[in-house]
Amino acid sequence: MQMLIDKEQNSKDKIVKPDFSTKTGREFLAFYLQTKFKQILQYDKKTQTPIFKEINPNFISKFSRRLIENPHKKFLIGVSGESASGKTTICKQIKKTSNDLKFPLEYLSIDNYFNDISDLIKKYGTFDALRDNGYDVDSPESFQLELLKEDLTKLSNGEDIKAPEYLINGTGISVPNSIPIKSEKFILVEGMAAMYKDIKDLFDVKIYIDIDPKIQKKWFMERAAKRNQDQENALKHWKYVGDAAEKYIRPAKGDADIIINGASSLGYFSQIIEFIHAATNCFIS
Does residue 1 register a pLDDT over 80? no
Cβ burial 159-168 (10 Å sphere, 16+ → b, else e): eebebbbbee
User: What percent of the chain has pLDDT above 70?
Assistant: 96
- The domain locations on the chain are 52-109+187-263
Each residue's pLDDT tens digit, 69-105: 988 899 999 999 999 999 999 999 999 999 999 989 9
What's the burial of 239, exposed, middle or buried (CB within 10 Å: 0-12/13-18/19+)?
exposed
Statement: residue 8 has pLDDT above 90: no
Q: What's the rounded mean pLDDT across residues 205-212?
A: 96
Predicted local distance difference test score (pLDDT) of residue 128: 85
Task: State pTM to two decimals.
Answer: 0.92
Q: Which of 36-40, 48-52, 163-167 has the highest mean pLDDT?
A: 163-167
- Average pLDDT over the chain reads 91
Class in CATH terms, 52-109+187-263: alpha beta
Quick one: which of 57, 182, 185, 166 has its CA closest to 121?
166
Q: At what angle do helices 2-10 and 266-280 cross, to 10 degrees?
A: 20
Is 90 exceeded by the pLDDT of residue 227?
no
* Confidence category of residue 283, pLDDT binned at 50, 70, 90: low
The answer to whether residue 167 scores a pLDDT higher than 80 is yes
DSSP H or E stretch at residue 107:
strand 105-109
pLDDT in tens, 142-162: 999 999 999 999 999 999 999
| Cross-strand bridge partners of residue 284 | 16
pLDDT at 97: 94
Query: β-strand 186-190 against 174-181: which pairing, if any?
Result: unpaired
